[in-house]
Structure formats: structure tokens, C-alpha cells
Amino acid sequence: MTHHIPDGLPDRIRHYIDGEFVDSIGGEVFDVLDPVTNEPYVQAAAGQQADVDRAVAAARRAFTDGPWPRMLPRARARVLHRIADLVEQQDARLAELETFDTGLPITQALGQAQRAAENFRFFADLIVAQRDDTYKVPGRQVNYVNRKPIGVAGLITPWNTPFMLESWKLAPALATGNTVVLKPAEFTPLSASLWADIFREAGVPTGVFNLVNGLGEEAGDALVKHPDVPLISFTGESRTGQLIFGNAAPFLKGLSMELGGKSPAVVFADADLEQALDATVFGVFSLNGERCTAGSRILVERPIYDEFVERYAGRARNIVVGDPHDPATEVGSLVHPEHFDKVMSYVEIGTGEGRLVAGGGRPEGLDTGNYVAPTVFADVAPDARIFQEEIFGPVVAITPFDTDEEALALANGVKYGLAAYIWTNDLKRAHNFSQAVEAGMVWLNSNNVRDLRTPFGGVKASGLGHEGGYRSIDFYTDQQAVHITLNEAHSPRFGTH
């Protein structure tokens, strides 16, 4: 198999601080691997406390002295629309770099680049149309809400669809007038450095956007503990989220955390079976299974269980696994050998916990790289590790149920609660089940289609807070209540006797 290497790869990946690309002050670097060969293809600057301090100082200066927080919403929106235009103009290049860095199939990476542009358009429109609350007590008092940007936002992003997930935080943080320090995932730093030139060309003032590459334990940790960073938005694993929560506590920082998931897809016997198959196959094998909202546990009502498992396994065995740059590829290579080992260890565990009906190892003919054949386990018990724990790869557990009550208990019987997918044509059951399921987001007879106006977030171990639409604006702004008396200020008269 020929391996595509994009033209014009950088000779090194650097930080971007106060309008300049810079190396780490102490010269520290780390290797970045190409996930198809697992060979290092570039070195990136490894940010330390000193580099984070420098980036935060630049962002702080841009916030206190620069024009960005004081610009009219329309002026900021124009800049955001220019960012969206620039992302769209280079979507093919972005997808090519993202695919090379992450192992995501090229067709899916292209969709993510286009979504990144849409995130900027959405928040550009939202801040111009934004309205805030006013309350009147007629003839006596007017109370209104004055929103203001908070300061320097620390954005810590994951390695799955990195560019799109960075845009999801950058767009609302910048739209509301904050300045930012972005710490992208160390496995996938390539596309993040493109933001610097895009923002500069779009007219984002110097110091508003800063980028520090590096390891979570070093750069991420320094950002979370920095006293001049009042906000941290983090997407990643629940364990890391717990660590960040603890480290942010002494500073009482604002936290928004979108964490792991083990989302159920519940298929009732009255569902449209063809559509349910399409959605549940796509729902766990798209993005190489490396997605927080993956429907990685499929619960199927007993009357259709055998047919469903057989047809599902057949589809899984037919999935095209191969070179991420080939448009025919449906599942590419996992992001990194460490992650490959983790997913393979779960495949091994699963062979003792369920009936293997598809996959279970490396695909035929792909002897190197982080390739995992789409793997399906049937008859998985609810206490199995592959039912309970997030695998974050192309591995799915299928479990039968007999009653609505049992389905609900199975759906809710894990520590996570990010998404749920429900397939039924019974109107009452659809709503009652949706409302009873412990998930921040529910898709009924529908694939994971995002409406950016709706809240995105999870319950239980899947997160803290919500982003999307006004919830993002709430997170990135302080809401100050201002009260004015319209007649005499009637105060009790102390000290007059």
C-alpha cells in the first residue's frame, strides 16, 4: 500500500505566542508520529510552565489593553466570518493534514473541516443577534443584564477530530471578546498551528490567540494552575477531567468539561430495522470509533435480536479498512500506537466476555500501522468490562433485552451519560424512554446530527456544564445584574433618631 505524505509539511511545529511562532524557552521538544507508519515525522515544541506563563501574559495584555474585548459585536462578527471563509477555502488542505496526523478517513476529515467553518459562522451570527434580559417593576425599578467577557480562556482539546473540536471552543471564546491560550493534544498538533495564519489574515489582533503545544502533564497542567486564566474548557477523558477539576479548585475557575461516553443505542422490535442498522453501524465505526458520542453499546429487543446481530456483523465485516487518504476508506488507522495497544487490550478482554461475531484483530493485509478490524461482540453481559468501560475504537457490544424497563436499566447502568440513540416507532415510548434515559443528549430515530443552538454536554461521568448556542455564551461571559431605581430610593433611615 502506498502511503500518502502531504506536501509542505513543516520542518518543526512551534508555539504561537503574541503574534509570533516561537520555540520553547528551554528548547524542549517531543516527537509526533505518523499513525500509518508510527514513525516520527516532525518534532514539536514541548511547552513548559515558562512558555505557558509567556502565552498567558500575552493574552492578558491583549485583553486588558487591546481592542478585541471592546469591539462592537458586529466588528468581531466580521472577523469571525472571515475566519470561516479562510477555513472553507482551504478545507481540502486541512483535511489532508488532519488525515495524515490522525489517521481519520479523508472523506470524514473533510466534513470536519467544513464543520469548523460553520462553528465560526454560527457564533458570528449569534453575537450580533444576541439579546439579554431586562426586568421592569413599572414606575419603580429597571434591572438589566450586562454581559462582559471574562478574560483569558484556557482551551484544552483532544486528538480526535482536533481541528473541528478546537473551533468549537475558539469560536465562542473569541466571539464573546475573550482572549485565549489553546493547548492542543500532543498526539495531533499539526492542524492547530494553521489557526495562527488564518486568524492573522482574518484580522484577529495580536495576542488574542496564543497556542502552546506540549504534554498534558506539563503544558496543560501549567495552564490549569495559572492564576490569570479564569476559565478552562476541556474535552477529553473523564480521568483527566477529575484531575483538572482538582487542580482548578484552589482558583475557583469556571470549568466546562466534555468527557467520556459509553452511549447506548436502543433498538426496539418496532424500529425501522434498515435505518437502525445504518445508524448504529455508522455510530460506532465512523471517525475510527474515536468519538465521545459513539453508540458503543447496542441494546436490541429479543424478537429481532438474532437477525440484528447477524446483519450487523455482516455489515461490520464488509467495512473498508485501509489507507486514511483513500476516499474509499471507511475506517483508517487509530491515532497512536499507545491507543492501538489500549483498544487491542479491550478486544482481548472482550473475547472472554462476549461472542465475537466480527473482527477481533488486525485486518487482513495490514501488518503495520494502527489498524483494527471493526469488532463486534454479541451477548455481552451488563457487568462486562467491554459494556462498562469506554474503549474509544471500532469495537461494539450488543446485548439483548426483553422489556422497556430492562432496556432502561441497561441503558443507565454505566457511569457515563453523554448520548443515547433510541429506535422505535411508538410515540409514547419514544418520549417516555428518552426522558428517563440518563444522557445529556438523545437522538430519536436519528443519527448524531448536531443543531448548534442546542446544549451539548453530558451527565454523570460524561461532563460538567454545557456548550452550544447560548450555553457557550453563558460560559464565556460574566452576567452582571444592574439595578436602577426610577423613583425615590426608599431606604430604612438608620441613625436618624
Q: Cite the active site residues.
A: 258, 292
Identify the sign of the CA torsion 341, 345, 348, 350: negative
Pairing of strands 152-156, 231-235: parallel
Spatial neighbors of 411 by CB under 8 A, at least 6 apart, are: 264, 266, 297, 299, 420, 437, 438
Return the C-alpha cell found at 442.
Answer: 438523545
Query: Do 287 and 448 contact (CB within 8 A), yes or no?
Result: no
The Cα-based distances of 282 to 288, 344, 395 in angstroms read 10, 20, 12
Question: Cα–chain-centroid distance for residue 57?
Answer: 27
- Residue matched to cell numbers 495584555: 61
Which distant-in-sequence residues (6+ apart) come within 8 Å of 332 by Cβ? 35, 99, 103, 104, 105, 288, 321, 322, 323, 324
Contact 392, 289 (CB under 8 A): yes
3-state helix, strand and coil shares in percent for the chain, rounded to the nearest 5: 40, 20, 40
How far is C-alpha 288 from the geometric centre of its chain's CA atoms?
15
Neighbours of 48 (CB within 10 A): 20
SS3 category, 159: coil
CA distance 247 to 226: 10
Q: Distance (Å, rounded) from C-alpha 457 to C-alpha 261?
A: 11
Alpha-carbon distance of 123 to 172, in angstroms, equals 6
H or E segment to which residue 59 belongs: helix 49-64
